[in-house]
Amino acid sequence: MKKTLRKLLVFILILGVLFVTACSSGEKTNSDNNKGDAGNSGAVTIRMAVFENDPNGMMEKARQKFNKEHDNIKIEFTQMSNDASQMHDQTVTQLSAGSENLDIVNMDVVWTAEFAESGWLLPLDDRFTEELQANYIGRQVDSVKYDDKTWAVPWFNDLHPLWYRTDLLEKYNLEVPETYEDAVKVAQKISKEEGIQGFTMHWGRSEQLIVSFTEFLHANGGDFFDENGKVIINSPEAVEALQFMVDMIEKYEVVSTSAIGHSTPEDSRIPFTQGQSLFNPNWGYVYSINQADDSAVKDKTWVASNFKFEGGKKANSVGGWNFAISSSSKHPDEAWEVIKWFTSAENQKEMLVGGGYAGTQLSLYEDAEVIKANPYLEEYTKAFEDASVRPSHPQYSKMSDIAQSYIHQALSGDLSPKEALDQLAKELEDIE
């Protein structure tokens, strides 16, 4: 009997360990960081989705500051994957189930139509008025509108330009190339001389692959759809663009095969910051991390628009994230107060000066203190002139998932670029 009881206790203990491990591997509520929140124990708790990646800890600092300043509201962060595709699925799982554990949705610019169409968000027209909208970057405001309603507030202004090693280009007396064709030649020369990679890319099967592919596609005059909505993803221009991506791995050897396993921006950013590559197309957060004291490339990197193809145009994918209120939230008024505070000019400035995310308030980009702390912003803002937008569609996530599969198969050598895009075109034509 004692042996049986002992075995039962051991079994229960093992189950408990497995349960704790499982809970810690997915979305995480930042309860470990709530030590400074004891003063508002009777407050309404608002659960807010954020990335696991927090440059210089500025989001957490902002959370603690809010909780200290407010007695009636307490914020808890629900950490989501840095992989946008995984984060999308995590968010959809909670929203579609009507979960009350997510009051504030952290929403990619390409999710607005899908989430609004599904009834997962509360419209914010009465809260985020036209008067307030006038203080924000117009392009980002446009991304939160769908079906003549406003569904979110822009909080993170993002672009996917080229980051490059200034010291190495200067060493070899070279300028930043204009075309992909010339960039490959420069990358081959410097990578051979320095023993580093030419490009670090995030070409794993994730949303980041669509971000990169869209840039190559638009740089060669291709697109997913024409102006009438007809599928043209298998046009000669599109096939050429994808073939060039394949050639960068197989023919020119300026992109490592490891790139097709990199699913997050961090996967390609880390080796770049460690001094292991010449070029890294990536999001705006890269600058502040490269400038950290422990960075191998401090004061050695800068930003420019991505390359173009001969006869094409430069293309930098537009990103950005917006805060929305879940239609399942029991505390929409308090959630709005949190969003309003986090997206205020004062908080966005504090975060950006501290090396956090680039905000969406227009005043930031004319603020001397902000520019001094982030000198790249002037060049970064110019890169928006070459902005490239992914398709807007209520079924965007489904489209993206299908496209990821075929493009990744081409990069992996399982399909030719033409085979991959022909099959992709057939599936996109069947999406309603």
pLDDT at 82: 86
User: Over the stretch 136-153, which tens digit does the pLDDT of each residue have?
Assistant: 998 899 999 999 999 999
Determine what percent of the chain is predicted with pLDDT higher than 70: 90
List of residues 6+ apart from 210 with CB closer than 8 A: 390, 400, 403, 404, 407
pLDDT at 1 over 80: no
pLDDT at 17: 35
Q: What is the pTM for the complete model shown? A: 0.81
pLDDT at 9: 37
List of residues 6+ apart from 184 with CB closer than 8 A: 198, 248, 252, 254
Three-class SS of the chain: CHHHHHHHHHHHHHHHHHHHHHHHHCCEECHHHCHHHHHHCCCEEEEEEEECCCHHHHHHHHHHHHHHHCCCEEEEEEEECCCHHHHHHHHHHHHHCCCCCCCEEEEEHHHHHHHHHCCCECCCCCCCCHHHHCCECHHHHHCCEECCEECCEEEECCEECEEEEHHHHHHCCCCCCCEHHHHHHHHHHHHHHHCCEEECCCCCCCHHHHHHHHHHHHHCCCCCECCCCCECCCCHHHHHHHHHHHHHHHCCCCECHHHHHCCCHHHHHHHHHCCCEEEEECCCCHHHHHCCCCCCCCCCEEEECCCECCCCCCCEEECCEEEEEECCCCCHHHHHHHHHHHCCHHHHHHHHHCCCCCCCEHHHHHCHHHHHHCCCHHHHHHHHHHEECCCCCCCHHHHHHHHHHHHHHHHHCCCCHHHHHHHHHHHHHCCC
pLDDT at 117: 93
Residue that the structure tokens 């009350």 belong to? 100
Find how far residue 198's CA is from the centre of its chain: 23
Mean pLDDT on 168-183: 98
Determine what percent of the chain is predicted with pLDDT higher than 90: 81
Task: Judge whether 36 and 69 are in contact, CB under 8 Å.
Answer: no
Mean pLDDT on 45-51: 96
Mean pLDDT on 103-116: 95
pLDDT at 376 over 80: yes
pLDDT at 391: 87
User: Over the stretch 270-289, which tens digit does the pLDDT of each residue have?
Assistant: 999 999 999 999 999 899 89
pLDDT at 15: 36
- 10 Å CB burial of residue 56 (0-12, 13-18, 19+) is middle
User: Over the stretch 383-419, which tens digit does the pLDDT of each residue have?
Assistant: 989 999 898 788 899 999 999 999 999 999 999 999 9
Distance from the first to the final alpha carbon of the chain: 63
pLDDT at 7 over 80: no
